[in-house]
Structure 1
């Protein structure tokens, strides 16, 4: 049975008139088990493969191999399906006209699905929203699925449907299933695919070369099968008269959860975290209180991990008003670290967006700030990726020059990795 723990890192002391409390809550899960075998219900997996004409022969062959490899990682007994998508979506396997659109994995169904994948041919355009809607319907066709996860591969922009149509499809899929998204090559749009992944509690990344797809898909499916906890929620209580400023995941990636809270009662909201393996994640919780007199104490927030409406772990965020400046001005290192990491993600994305529209001044300023933040927070991966896009003159001051010749894949890799964070150095 899975075990959860929760720990708080904060400076609880506020100055006279102080109102805002910040805390990092580290949640850890152990003994998560295997997807679909933890007593919460069955697991479902759907592999979504771009079969548009832009994939070409070589890309399509690599995608077919990757999808077949992913099939091999799905645990027997798991419900699964394969979706092929171009300017429309179709159910490649199982071949059914009614009833459940998924079947349980075993040696026979794995082989049949592999034969269906082998028949894929590149043709047509790209309408990712239709792929998401079919995936949503397929998961809905199997009653009692507790864990619903998909992997999505695309190589191009969503040309065959409007942004409004895609946004509507994302909205309909949100809360129904999780989806890890990967783009192969450099013709797809990072912001478009990131929007899907973030809404569906998944990840986004680039696969620079088709021959890397199989290894990536194997890793994605192995990770999904290791998530033995189908779904957990972060339950945040704050006292009467307070305001929860934000709740966001800050490790291993930055994910904004504030707008996703659902009310439990007048003082409590649940925030989705998706499925869990043996892992730990950090959350930044910020609450605004009414100021109290010096010497008074107050519980600022109660943060709980909830699985199937049962509390698995709890952490308390506290506030105490003090006239001692040595206490009130102390900076909590965890809070400072993740504040910097969140700003780093924003600086990278804003800098690349400015560069894309030819605003070199803003691009230089924001990417320079990103270099400064990456160095200060010890994010070596971000530093390495940034140096492929800018010439660094001084890390400490964030003085950089834009490189004139940049590999498009390097730029996209920096963009997709912008939300990845590093934990505080000991």
Structure 2
């Protein structure tokens, strides 16, 4: 976990930021226990027939996705027009994947015809009904959605209403093809349903993209992991977000399980890595200067796979602490952790891309050029080649490092959508974190806190973690008091420090 633990003393209550990386390994063996259901939704509106390569690519993509379904997976193929129609299986319910049903469904996919309107809310409602029907109690439920148009044939508020009802029941990855779809709609769908939205830039890429997405879905074997956040007395939760591979604000989805404890669902997992950004308020009341104090703890809570309880199929690491270290050294308090800095940079990048797209649609071309220039500079600093490539379709880049660009004379709707739809995507590459102006470079070491003599600081750096003799909480070797019960911790030299009580002592933390 990367965190900004050094905070300025005397500044009152301030935000403390941390980025938690969660990595899952060795889950492939659990796929035999996983119970999954998939719905493939293909836009078959009339616009998919022009050019004819779109509907042809969609047929091949649907067949390719069905072809990689794991044996035993429940699945259905839905034709989307101004209504939704289950075209496979013919009975209108879910089929069970196997050699025969995969072949039958692929043949059906190759007969899809483009004719009709676009009612995306109806398509999602159909997927919801299939995935949540009586007897369909599969813990891993997912949909793939392809469209080339906007949600034009539903009532104006219907999409939001359906998404609110679908949220938490299944996840959905969405792809746009052609020029007429709306990036904001696809991002809305993927955001509410915890999926990823993107553009298919060439019709010929669609088959491989659908095969890749379905393979990723089939790799999911653990139904869910919850991230438990437990705050100390006096701290408040500001937000909790997923920041990689895409930004998803999970703050309102947290379940409060105690007075100061939340659990945030993260959905199904395969072998993968995700990053989460936690921000809590830090109150210095009762804290000593120059000490590591625990603001919060973060723990993983896994769900079981099939009939197997979580503890029999997966091991999770011990909880990790979010620390605060009050200091009067401005060099330390202005230092930004590289991972926190990186995702702050991505937040700025997303805002710049969105602002440029909105300005361009409104006809404010100078503002669009300025915002996209800022986006180019940020993407360059972050090393995000995918975003840079898409921005180059909107602007001619004169100097990426300085953000000097010139608006292109011709910008298609497809080019605009392809940049807009990925404005909440990110990468984990850490070779070039973006830090706010004035922050110390991540590689540059800083001096020890001013409140702690250098000789004493050097001694502490060599100390191993220390266990409280009363409540047995393990604290960093630099700590002098237990952050749970306030007991003085054993020290290498000199008498034990005095106890620093907080307004209320922490009760023992429940096991993760």
TM over 0.5: yes
1:131-150 equivalence runs, <5 A: 131-141=123-133, 142-150=135-143
The residue number in structure 2 matching 1:80 is 75
Q: In the alignment, what sits opposite 1:254?
A: 247
* Residue 73 of structure 1: how far off its partner (Å): 0.5
| Deviation larger for 87-96 or 206-215 | 206-215
RCO comparison, higher one (Cα < 8 Å, 6+):
1
| C-alpha displacement of 1:83 | 1.1
Q: Which residues in structure 2 correspond to 1:111-122 (within 5 Å)?
A: 111-122=103-114
* Structure 2 SS opposite 1:124: coil
Separation in 2 of the partners of 1:237 and 1:402? 48
| Deviation string, structure 1 residues 158-196 (Cα, Å, up to 9, x no partner) | 110123101111111110001110111111111011100
Aligned residue for 1:4? Answer: none
| Native 8 Å contact 1:94 1:102 kept in 2 | yes
SS at match of 1:385: helix
Distance 1:51 1:11 in 2: 50
Q: What is the distance in 2 between the residues matched to 1:110 and 1:126?
A: 27
Equivalent residue number for residue 42 of structure 2: 49
Change in Cα spacing, 1:151 to 1:341, as seen in structure 2 (3 Å) is: same
Distance across 1 between alignment mates of 2:122 and 2:415: 30
The superposition leaves residues 264-295 of structure 1 with CA deviations (integer Å, 9 ceiling, x where unpaired) of 22212222322222121111111112223442
Confirm or deny that 1:388 pairs with 2:380: no
Q: 3-state DSSP class of the match of 1:274?
A: coil
TM-aligned CA deviation for residue 121 of structure 1: 1.4
Equivalence for 1:339:
344
Distance in 1 between residues matched to 2:275 and 2:394, nearest whole Å = 29
CA distance in 2, matches of 1:326, 1:61: 60
Alignment check: 8 A CA contact 1:35 1:147 kept: no
1:366 paired residue number: 371
Indicate the residue corresponding to 1:5 in structure 2.
Answer: none
- Of residues 144, 162, 175, the one that matches 1:169 is 162
Moved more, 372-381 or 190-199: 372-381
Q: 1:329: how far off?
A: 2.4
* Contact 2:180 2:413 survives alignment (8 Å): no
Q: 1:209 aligns with which of 180, 202, 213?
A: 202
1:34 shift after superposition:
6.2
| C-alpha distance after superposition, 1:243-273 (max 9, x if no partner) | 2111112222222222222222221222232
Please give the TM-score of this superposition, normalised by the length of structure 2. 0.77
The residue aligned with 2:61 is 66
Is 2:44–2:114's contact at 8 Å kept on the other side of the alignment? yes
Deviation string 1:379-399 (CA, Å, 9 cap, x unpaired) is: 232223222211333434433
Alpha-carbon distance in structure 2 between the residues aligned to 1:228 and 1:363:
43
Aligned residue for 2:21?
Answer: 26
Closer/same/farther in 2, CA of residues 345 and 335 from structure 1, 3 Å limit: same
The residue number in structure 2 matching 1:3 is none
User: Given the alignment of the two structures, is residue 312 of structure 1 paired with residue 304 of structure 2, yes or no?
Assistant: no
Pairwise CA distance, 1:361: 3.1
Task: Please state how far the C-alpha of 1:208 moved relative to its aligned partner.
Answer: 2.6
Q: Answer yes or no: is the 8 Å Cα contact 2:31–2:219 preserved in 1.
A: no
Note closer, same or farther for the CA distance 1:223–1:387 as it changes in structure 2 (3 Å cut).
same
SS in 2 for 1:306: strand
Q: Is the 8 A contact 1:35 1:43 kept in 2?
A: no
What is the aligned-residue RMSD (CA, Å)? 2.0
Q: Tell me which protein shows more strand as a share of its residues.
A: 1
Superposed, which structure 2 residues align to 1:92-111 within 5 Å? 92-96=87-91, 101-111=93-103
- Shift, 1:405, TM fit: 1.5
- 1:230 is paired with a residue whose SS is coil
The higher radius of gyration belongs to: 2
Matched, 1:322 2:327: yes
Counterpart for residue 294 of structure 2? 299
Structure 1 range deviating more: 26-35 or 349-358: 26-35
Return 5+ residue gaps in structure 1 as ranges: 1-7
Secondary structure of the corresponding residue to residue 367 of structure 1: helix
Q: Distance in 1 between matches of 2:368 and 2:284?
A: 40
Retained in 1: the 8 A contact 2:75–2:95? yes
**Contact 1:16-1:294 at 8 Å conserved across structures:** no
Contact 1:34 1:227 in 2 (8 A): no
Verify the 8 A CA contact 2:63 2:107 in the aligned structure 1.
no
Matched, 1:13 2:9: no
**Cα drift, residue 239 of structure 1:** 2.2
Larger displacement relative to structure 2 (123-132 or 269-278): 269-278
Measured against aligned partners, the alpha-carbon deviations of 1:8-60 in whole angstroms (never above 9, x if no partner) come to: 111312111342111111111001216753x4x51111111111111115422
Moved more, 117-126 or 66-75: 117-126
Q: Runs (4+) of structure 1 moved beyond 4 Å?
A: none
Q: Given the superposition, is the C-alpha separation of residues 332 and 418 from structure 1 closer, same or farther in structure 2, using an over 3 Å criterion?
A: same
Unaligned runs of 5+ residues in structure 2 are 305-309, 433-512
What TM-score results when the alignment is normalised by the length of structure 1?
Answer: 0.92
Structure 1 CA distance for aligned equivalents of residues 60 and 400 of structure 2: 42
Aligned to 2:431: 425
Equivalent of residue 405 in structure 1, options 386, 404, 410: 410
- The CA distance in 2 between the partners of 1:62 and 1:213, in whole Å, is 6
Q: Give the conservation status (yes or no) of the 8 Å contact 1:35–1:226.
A: no
2: CA distance, partners of 1:251 / 1:81: 30
Q: Tell me the equivalent position of 2:272.
A: 279
